[in-house]
Every structure is written in structure tokens, then in C-alpha cells.
Chains A and B, each alone.
Chain A
Amino acid sequence: MIEFRHISKSFAGTAAVQDINLSVGEGELFGLIGPDGAGKSTLFRMLVTLLLPDEGEIAFNGRNVVDDYTYVRSHVGYMPGTFALYQDLSVEENLHFFATLFGTSIQDNYHLIEGIYKQLEPFKKRRAGALSGGMKQKLALSCALIHKPLVLVLDEPTTGVDAVSRKEFWEMLQKLREDGLTILVSTAYMDEATLCDRVALIQKGRILRVDTPQGIVARFGKPLYRLSGAGVQRFLPLLRALPQVHSAQPFGDSVHITLGDEEQMDEVVQQLRKAGYKDGLQPVTPGIEDCFIDLMLEANA
């Protein structure tokens, strides 16, 4: 459905994305996972015809997005990273406005947004600016869907949204995917990666890996251990100085370390005991964040 081929873009000499190759199949829920400034928005903005790539080309349903930008604009639903609807128009007026611009009407495509819009309907006369964060997001999603797009592009839709609304939002996306919509979503929250069919991990404008979330975790080849307990992060400098420790990263309240191989565990524990650490090392199954950090360190090395 969507194909990025050797896409590069720089701003004032600084590369935002470099040689990106990605393909997203029809009906896929595809996640672009990476920290702020990784180039996620730049990729999306090129896809939705707001930016021109410096190099490479993007195909949208077989059409070049630069040459055939009108086709793309008519068939893509885009939700920018910041709320971009008219705050001084009401919920209903916003929806009506975007429906009209796409030459359709709320009535014609009501079935597409029914599930989402129903929760908004009691507030349909309210100005968009007066809605709560979660409601704004639902309205933005409704406006992006009202013209029956082939592809939905969501730029960090869950940034700054509370945990309950985030969960609700992902449930909405799952439902839309079941209806056959192709969805591209970007996020900086690693835990959301597992909710996607496939993800691309992106950092500093380069793709680190593209795979299913399970595939990415499965490829994590090193033994991973957790150190827990109050103030455990004070051991980070010590751990990083040990030759047996491949990497040591803070992980919430605990610390995750990878070793060259499992045999070396005892040596590491001994060193830690000397420094005053009481507990042992617990083996843990890696998550997406562990994989991301590992790939990032590899790429930077």
C-alpha cells in the first residue's frame, strides 16, 4: 500500500531522515517507534504531501506522492502531532467543514465514525477548544476518517494523553484495522509497539529494524538481567566499567544489564557484592525498549 524508497530529507544541512526504505501492506497497523527528533514526523509529512523529499520516492497505493499529490490528499486521513482543528468552531462544525472540503457529508460516511463520534455527540455544539484532551483526539480522528480514506496516518496521537484515553485510542485503532483500513502510527512510547502488527524502530533519521514486535524481541540475542532495589542505579558506573557487562541501562526503578554470555553472571555478582549490592541478578525476557536500546547502542558503536 505504501512504499518508501531511499527517502532522504535534510533541513538547513542537517539530515532529518536518511535513506529510509519501508513498505506497509494493505490493512496493516504499522508503528513507527522512536524517540523525539528521530524523524517520524518528517517521514509522515512527506507521505501526506506536506513536504517534498530531497531524494527517493514514496508510492501511495501505487502512485507517486509528489506527482499525484491530489490523489493522496483525497485518500489519506492525516492527524498531525498537534491538535489542528478549529478551536473556535464547534465539534459538529469542524466535522461538517472537513466533510465538505472532501466533497462528502457526515450523513454519507457516518458509519465510519459512528463508534468514535457517538461519545462526542453530547458535546457537538461545544467549541473544539473547550474539549478535554481525549475528546479533542476523538474529534481529530473523526475528522481524519470522515472522507473514507484508504490510509490513516497518525503522528504521535497518544502523546500527552492520559493512560485511560491511550488505551481507548488503541482499541479504536484495532477496530479500524479490523474494518480493513491501513494505519500508520508513530509513537515514542515503546510499550505501544506490541499493539501494532509490524513496527519500524527509528533513531536519528535511520531505521534500526523492521519486524513484528514478537520478531524484534525474538532477535534479541543476549542474556538480560535485572537488578532491583532502592537506589540500585548508583551501580550504573561500576557496571559499565566491567568488561563482562555488554550494556547497563536504567529501566524505571531498576537496572537492566546484558552480558556477553551467561557464564559471566557470577563474576558480575561478585563485583556487585563488593560494592554493597545484596540481591542477585534476575533473568528477564526482553521488551521492545530493551531491543531498541540494544540496537541503538549497536548503531552508535
Chain B
Amino acid sequence: MRKVKYLLKKEFRQIFRNQAMLPIIFVMPVVQLLILVNAATFEIKNIQVAILDEDMSQESRELVNKLLSTGYYKAVDFPTSIHQGQRLMDHNKIDLFIQIPAGFAADLQHEGHATIGLDISAIDGSAASIIYFYTNTILADYNSAIVARWLHLAKRPALPVELRTRYLFNEELEYKNYITPGLMVILVTMVTMFLAAMNIVREKELGTIEQLNVTPITKVQFIISKLLPFWLIGMFELAFGLAVGKLIFDFPVVGSLPLLFAFAAIYMPVGLALGLLISTVTHTQQQAMLISWFFVVIFILMSGLFTAIENMPDWAQTITLFNPVAYFMQLIRMVLLKGSEFHNVVRHFVVIGLMAVAMLTLAIVTYRKQQ
């Protein structure tokens, strides 16, 4: 016991003497939250648009004004030919090219319907569908205004079936509320996995593990002394990240924090064990870093941080069942935004608990086998 205590003391001494460590613990979360939360947003403003109005009628101008007055669009140019508009699209100057053909107003009056063309740049598929959605909404509004005019109604007609939509758990559709808890998960996963892997490999690289291996400390004592400090740092990091997120973005904390931390406590060993496993099979910090990255990138992309897991193809959804980050990602959002209670997330606890036991066993067995 005295040995483990002293081993831990030594680890903490070294961790806090490492000049890179304090910035990693305190600066990284703040920077990640500030940059990513503000940058990673699905809200679309300033849609770069070019409008070709070949009709130049009262109706077409009315439509153009309606679009531009919403504030979502920024008119880059008013080309005079389809060819010009397409060139703008080719040069990546615009996201949207609207063509109002000659005879638009006449068709509308005599035929009762008319066509306009929308070209949307779909390089970013989700942005394209949002642009389509915005534009479509505005056109629908314009349509109902025209119908009203035809029928000489003072008021727009009500549609027979009206949708009344409520957005639950995030009423204003604040993207920040969605992304901030997710980033917290990434943060603690990276900190625990990377630091644990680096730390043990460093002892190998410097040769100090040789000297340690010739002492009577057991491998279990060694592993505890290596993983416990980063477990504590991970827990601290989560608390620190939540506090920073709350202060800066004021995202809601609906559910129980003890529940969240209880989950984090059993989640952290999964990443730590993976870090230990990586350090067992590598010889340099560089190798450990690259392998850790490989896992972290897959874990993040398959976690539902940006793309909802439900939208993934079936095979990818199956993979996410084995991704610990996906469970934490789901749980933290459920608890913080929705106020889920323990009985709602039992499955998450059980799966992560099993993963933790399995990964720790695997890591310890592999580590022991080394000699």
C-alpha cells in the first residue's frame, strides 16, 4: 500500500512537472469549446446567391425582394445569362443560383402556374438540403400570398391541415446545446487515452521501465499507479469542461450531475485500458500517438458527435455498438438536455461496465504476457 501511494506520488510529481501537461489540462478544453462550438454549427447564414431575373416583372422583383429580405441570403451578383451564373457556380463564388425565366409573370397570370430554376451547390450535402429547405419555405409563403391575391382575400387562407410543431429538449434548436456536451466526451476520452498511453511508453523510451521491472513491485501495482492519476485527471477535466461550458455558453443542465459523473467513472477505465494496451504493443511515444489517433478518429466519427447514428447505414450502426464514445455521447445528451434518469440509461451503464471490465482484463493480461 505504501508502495502504491509512493508510486502515485511520483506520477503526480512527474505529471505536474511536465510543462505540456498543465496547458493540456486547462487550456485545451477551453480552446476546444470556444473554437469548435462556435465553428461547428449547422445554422446557415449568408447563403451566397446569384439571381438571374429574365422576366423583370413586378412579380419577379417581388419574389427576389422577399428572398433577400429574409437575411439568410447574400446576393453576390445578378448575372444576365445562365452561362454567367454557371460560371459563378463553377468558381465556387455562390451556393445557390436562382433563375426566373422570361414570361414568369405572364405564365403565372394566364396558365395559373410558372416555373423557376434553383441550382444548389451540393458539395456539402447537409448545407444543400438546408438551403433547399429555407428557399422552399419562402416560396411556399410567396405562393400562398399569390393565391390570396387571386381570390381577393384580405387574409391568407388557412390550410386544411396545419402542423403544430414543438421542439423538445432544445426548444430554440440551439446547436451549441447539442455540440457542447459531445465535445466534453471527446475531451475526456482523448485526455485519458492519450495521456495514459504516452506515459507508459515514455518509461519504455527512457529505459526507466527496466529499472522499475527489477524492483519487487508487482505489475498490478504498476498499472494502478499508471491509470489512477489519469482517471482522476479525466474526472476533473469533465467537471472543469462542464463549468467552462456552462459559464461561456450557458447550456442547460437538466438532469443529475451525480448520475453523469457515476457514468464517467466507469467509462474512463475503457479509454485508460485502451491506452495501456497501446502502450504495451508500441515502443515509442510516436507510435503510441499515431495508433491512439487512429482509434480516436474512428471513435469520434462513429460517435454521433456530428452525424446522428440513426442516419448511418446499418453496418456502420452495428460498428457504433462497439464504440464506447457513442454510449457516453448519447448518455451525456440524454442526462444534460433531457434530464434522463438512471432507469432510462441502464443499458448504457451495463454496456460500458462490461466494456471496462473486458478492456481492463485484456490490457492487463497483454501487459503481463510481455515477459
- Interface, chain A (partner B; CB < 8 A): 48-50, 52, 70, 73-74, 76, 78, 80, 82-89, 93, 97-98, 100-103, 143
Total A-B contacts with CB atoms under 8 angstroms apart:
63
Contact of B10 among A52, A70, A89 (CB under 8 A): A89
Contact of A89 among B7, B13, B213, B216 (CB under 8 A): B13
Complex contact B17–A84 (CB within 8 A): no
User: Which residues of chain B are within 8 angstroms of A82 by Cβ–Cβ distance?
Assistant: 207
Complex contact B210–A80 (CB within 8 A): yes
Q: A-facing mask of B3-39, CB < 8 A → 1, else 0?
A: 1001100100110011000000000000000000000
Main secondary structure on B side of the interface with A: helix
User: Which residues of chain A are within 8 angstroms of B216 by Cβ–Cβ distance?
Assistant: 70, 73-74, 101-103
B8 nearest CB across to chain A (Å): 11
A93 and B211 contact, Cβ closer than 8 Å, known pairs A100-B3, A101-B216: no
Question: Which residues in chain B, 299-339, are within 8 Å of chain A measured between CB atoms?
Answer: none
Interface residues of B, count at CB 8 A: 21
Complex contact A83–B207 (CB within 8 A): yes
A116–B156 CA distance with the chains assembled, in angstroms: 98
Identify 16 new A-B residue pairs, CB closer than 8 A, beyond the known A86-B206, A101-B215.
Answer: A52-B371, A70-B216, A83-B207, A84-B207, A84-B211, A85-B208, A86-B14, A87-B206, A88-B17, A89-B10, A89-B13, A93-B10, A97-B6, A98-B211, A103-B2, A143-B211
User: Which residues of chain B are within 8 angstroms of A74 by Cβ–Cβ distance?
Assistant: 216
User: Which residues of chain B are within 8 angstroms of A86 by Cβ–Cβ distance?
Assistant: 10, 14, 206, 208
A98–B214 CA distance with the chains assembled, in angstroms: 11
A88–B6 CA distance with the chains assembled, in angstroms: 16
A80–B371 CA distance with the chains assembled, in angstroms: 17
The 9 A-B residue pairs with the shortest CB-CB distance, nearest first, are A84-B211, A84-B207, A100-B6, A101-B215, A78-B214, A80-B210, A82-B207, A74-B216, A88-B17
Main secondary structure on A side of the interface with B: loop
A93–B12 CA distance with the chains assembled, in angstroms: 13
B217 at the interface (CB under 8 A from A): yes
A143–B216 CA distance with the chains assembled, in angstroms: 14
User: Which residues of chain B are within 8 angstroms of A93 by Cβ–Cβ distance?
Assistant: 10, 13
Contact of B14 among A73, A88, A103 (CB under 8 A): A88
Complex contact A76–B214 (CB within 8 A): yes
Across the two chains, which residue of chain A brings its CB closest to B15? A88
A142 nearest CB across to chain B (Å): 13
Complex contact A102–B207 (CB within 8 A): no
A50 and B210 contact, Cβ closer than 8 Å, known pairs A100-B2, A101-B216, A102-B215: yes
Across the two chains, which residue of chain A brings its CB closest to B208? A84
